[in-house]
Amino acid sequence: MSHFYNDIGARIVGTGSFLPEKVLTNHDLPGLEKSNGAVERLLGAVERRAAAEKETCSDMIVVAANRILEDAGMTALDVDRIIVSATPGDYVEPSTASVVQHKLGAKCPSVDIGMSCVGWLAGLDYALRCIATGEHRILVLAGTIVSRGTPFFNPMHRAIFGDGAAGVLIEKSDRHNFLSGAMWTDGQYHEMITMPNHISVPTENIPEEYHGSFHMGDGRVIQKALRDNLPLGVEGVLADAGLTRDDIDVCFIHQPSMPLYKVAVKAVGVAEEKLVEDYAQYGNTISAELPISLDENVKSGRVKRGDTILKVTYGAGFSGGIMLYKF
C-alpha cells in the first residue's frame, strides 16, 4: 500500500488556516452542562470552535485559502486545480469545491474528495498525481462544520468535534520534497463510524435511537484496526524513503479522541517530543485537523523549512493514510 513520490517534483509553498471566533467549552454543550469533568477525563476535550450562525463550510475554507495564497505570494488565478475535503459540505450537490472556486475568483477545475478524516491527505496524494501529469499549482483544502443542526444523539459524541478549515498550496518544483506515503481502506468496517444524510437507509447494525444521527461502533474494533495497520504502514513508508523514526523532526497524528490517539501513538512509535498535540484546544476537526496543525506549527516556528514531517491519519470507512515529506 506504499506510494513513491520521490520522482514527483513538488513542494509546499504556502499554508493557511481559519478557526471560528466562538469557543465552546464542555459546559456549553447541550446535555453536558453538568458533566463535572467527564468529557475532559474520558475524551480529553476541553474546548472547540463553532462557526458563526450564517458561516458556511465554504466560507471558512475560502478564508483559509486566501491566507494560503497570501503566504505563497500568489492569487487564485495562479492555481491549476482546487481540491476540497469538506465534512459536511455546503450541499449534497453541487460540490463544495465549486462554491469555493467561485468565492475565490479562481478559473480552474475544482473537485471534492471524501474519505472522512483522511480526506485532506487523500487530496494531497491526488494533487501530487496531478502535478506528475503536468499541472503546476494546486490548492488542497479542508473544512468542517459539526456545530450546526442536530446530527448527534449522544452528547458525548458532539463533544468530540470542532469546526475549522485549513490547507496548503503545492507547486511543481525541482525539489522532490514528497518522499513516500501509504493509504488504505478496509470497507468491511464501513458501518463502524457513520454520519447519515437525509436519504440514508439505516441498517440493522445501527441502533434505532441512532437513526438519523452520528453513530460510532465498538471502539475495540477501531483500536484493533489501528494496531493492525499503522505499524506496517509507517514501517513501509519509512523504508521506501530510506529513513528511520529518528529522522523525523515533527510528527502529526490524527486526534479523534485521546483514547484512540494514544492507541495510534503507540502503534506509530515516534518519540513523544516529536508529536504535535492540540486536541484539547480544538477537538476533532476531521480532515481539517492536519492542515490546521501544520499551519499553526509553521507560524509558531516549530516546523521549519527542511524539516522531515510524518503525517498519520485514519477514520470512517475504515480508512487511513500516511505521508512523509520535507517541508
pLDDT tens track for 244-281: 999 999 999 999 888 889 999 999 999 999 999 988 88
Given the residues 3, 157, 215, 254, select the one marked as catalytic: 254
Beta strand 308-315 with 250-253 is parallel
pLDDT at residue 207, as a whole number: 83
Are the CB atoms for 139 and 291 separated by under 8 Å? no
Question: Comparing C-alpha atoms, which of 46, 296, 261 is closest to residue 164?
Answer: 296
Answer yes or no: 198 catalytic.
Answer: no
Answer yes or no: 254 catalytic.
Answer: yes
119-132 and 289-300 helices, crossing angle to 10°: 80
Domains of the chain, each with CATH number or no CATH: 2-172 (3.40.47.10), 178-326 (3.40.47.10)
pLDDT at residue 300, as a whole number: 96
Residue 305 DSSP label:
T
pLDDT at residue 132, as a whole number: 94
Report how far residue 134's alpha carbon sits from residue 174's, in angstroms, rounded to the nearest whole number. 13
110, amino acid identity: S
Answer yes or no: 57 catalytic.
Answer: no
Are the CB atoms for 104 and 62 separated by under 8 Å? yes
How many CA atoms within 13 Å lie on the side-chain side of 167?
35
User: What global pTM score does this model have?
Assistant: 0.92
How many CA atoms within 13 Å lie on the side-chain side of 150?
6
Residue 144 pairs with which residues in a beta bridge? 87, 164
pLDDT at residue 201, as a whole number: 84
Given the residues 3, 26, 57, 117, select the one marked as catalytic: 117
Which residues of the chain are modeled with pLDDT < 50?
Answer: none
Report how far residue 49's alpha carbon sits from residue 145's, in angstroms, rounded to the nearest whole number. 9
Report how far residue 51's alpha carbon sits from residue 2's, in angstroms, rounded to the nearest whole number. 37
pLDDT at residue 55, as a whole number: 94
Contacts of 136 (CB under 8 A, 6+ apart): 80, 171, 172
DSSP string, 95-111: -HHHHHHHHHT--S-EE
- Which residue is listed with cell 447519515? 196
